[in-house]
Amino acid sequence: MAPKYLDERKYNTGEIVFSEGDASAEMFIVLEGNVGIVKKVAGREIFLAAQGRGDFFGEMAVLDSQPRTATCFAIVPTTLVAIRSGELLMKLRRDPTFALEMLQQMGRRISYLEHELAKVMEHELASRQEMAKIVAKSEYAAGDRRP
């Protein structure tokens, strides 16, 4: 049961919690079940992460009033606790270590994103080097054919 000042919400399998681009000022804690986070990239849906019991998500909407950057749906029947901005401050006063756990989880997400970014950059660098080799080869071949 959620505390009186927080909303507890139940979702069935596949039900959307929020969609990419939605304006909202709530974050969520998973009380029971699992949710999936997906994002549209070049018209395709990419699965970003699954969040389980005790995890939280959607905090950017509360902290920075940003529209949703991804879509969230229930993977199995799920119960979430919704926290709006004013309630977050109340929650932090009543449960002070929650702030540290938020920082820990956000730190882990930044590490993961840095790792993924490094992989993308590495891939792009390799593609560029490959492209440069092809260009150099074609220029060399063109040079050979020059009179």
Measured on CA atoms in the order 61, 63, 65, 69, is the torsion positive or negative? negative
Contacts (CB under 8 A) with other proteins, residues 5-24? 6
Which of 53, 123, 128, 137 forms a contact with other proteins (CB under 8 A)? Answer: 53
What residues are paired with 27 via a beta bridge?
83
**Partners of 74 in beta bridges:** 35
In whole angstroms, the minimum distance from the beta carbon of 38 to other proteins comes to 22
Question: Which lies closer to other proteins via its Cβ, residue 67 or residue 107?
Answer: 107
Q: How far is the CB of 79 from other proteins (least distance, A)?
A: 9
CA distance readout (Å), 33 to 13, 30, 73, 135: 10, 7, 11, 52
Cα gap 96→123, rounded to integer Å: 42
Q: Is 31 in the site for other proteins (CB under 8 A)?
A: yes
User: What does DSSP say about strands 26-32 and 56-57: parallel, antiparallel, or unpaired?
Assistant: antiparallel
* DSSP assigned state of 68: P
Sketch the per residue contact string, 59 through 88, with other proteins: x for CB under 8 A, - otherwise: ----------------------x-------
**Would you count residue 32 as binding other proteins (CB under 8 A)?**
yes
95 near other proteins (CB under 8 A): yes
Binding site residues, other proteins, CB under 8 A:
1-3, 6, 29-32, 53-54, 81, 94-98, 100-101, 104
